[in-house]
Structure formats: C-alpha cells, structure tokens
Structure 1
Amino acid sequence: MSTSEGSKTADSMDEDTSQVPHARRSKVWEHYEQELVVVEGDPKAVCKYCRGQFHTKFGTSSLRTHIAEACRSIEDACRKSFLLTMKKMPSEGLLVFDEKVSRELMVKFCIHAEIPFIKFEDPHLQPWIDSL
C-alpha cells in the first residue's frame, strides 16, 4: 500500500468519526463509553454495564434495544429511567407517558362529557387524581 493510499484510508476514517458527535444526541449514549472501539475495522459502542460491543453504523436502535431489554448488568431503576426518556417512535410502536399531556386530555374529556364534579370524589378514582 502506498503512502497516499494509507493517508486516504486515514482521511476516510477521520470523516467517519467526525460524524459521531452528530449521532450522539440520543439519550442512549449516556449508557455507552464516550470512545468507540474499532473491532476488525468496524467502530463499535461499548456498554458501560456489561462491556458488550455494538454496531452503530445504522443508528442507535441496537443500542436502545440492548439497554431497554437485553443488558443483564444494568440496574432495574436505571433501565426504567432510560425507558421513560425514550421518545415515541411510530415505527417501533414505543410510547412514553407524558403527565402534562395526560392531564390536559383528561380535563378536555371531562368537560366534553359533562362529567359531574361529584364523580371525582369516587374512592376508586381518588388515588389516581392525587397522583396527578
């Protein structure tokens, strides 16, 4: 391999890694090491909990799936917190509960349905209201 070819390969790799900060806007990166590791010429993210290595070439879906479902070393509280931060992604059918939106929709429904205020004193409904 000539020097110019080696330089070209290094430049190409620099271009690939320069795109990494753009891809790291996802919350999932909080659960992976800052630096990617290169395995057989392929950059991979390293899980902070189990040290597993995952491709990032096509985005962060494999990273999200690992943290959300597969990592056996992550604490349950940390996993639950991560799941709550995930945005709704129609293609994956994921849903994140938004307390403010839920409250606004509930109020609109109650007004539209003309539900009497006395209904909100029901002992089975009270714990839910208190949690809002």
Structure 2
Amino acid sequence: MKSEYCPKVPSDDRNKFVATMKKKLVDGSFTFNQQRSRDLMIAWCVRADVAFNKFDDEGFEPWMESLQPAFSCIGR
C-alpha cells in the first residue's frame, strides 16, 4: 500500500504544515510589505548564520521575483 506522506516526518510537524496549506486569508486579500519581508529575511539570516554573500548568487533574484515580483533586491 502506497503512503500519502513520508513516515519519517513527525505527525505534529506534518499536521502543522497541512494546516498552513489550508489557511485562508480573512478578507481574501494580501498586501506585500517589502520592508517587513526584508527585516524577516535579515533576522532569519542572523539566527541561521547564513552568510550575506549567499544573496549575491545568480539564482537568488529570479527566485525572489517568482515569489514576489514587487520585491527589489539590494546589494551589499
């Protein structure tokens, strides 16, 4: 019998992920806030010890554009 999920992923983690996929916006809209996104990315980089030069990779800007075309990347 084929499983619909990876048995290695703990069920609590899987359930949290599935809940985010089902999450609906309260009013059906979303407003992108570039500064908030940038601040959260910086905080993540610091916590995860990600080198800032990783953002100079040629694949970074196209990836960001695919997520949010209005996001403008800034260099060092």
Q: More strand by proportion, 1 or 2? A: 1
Using the size of structure 2 for normalisation, the TM-score is 0.44
Larger relative contact order, structure 1 or 2 (CA cutoff 8 Å, min sep 6): 2
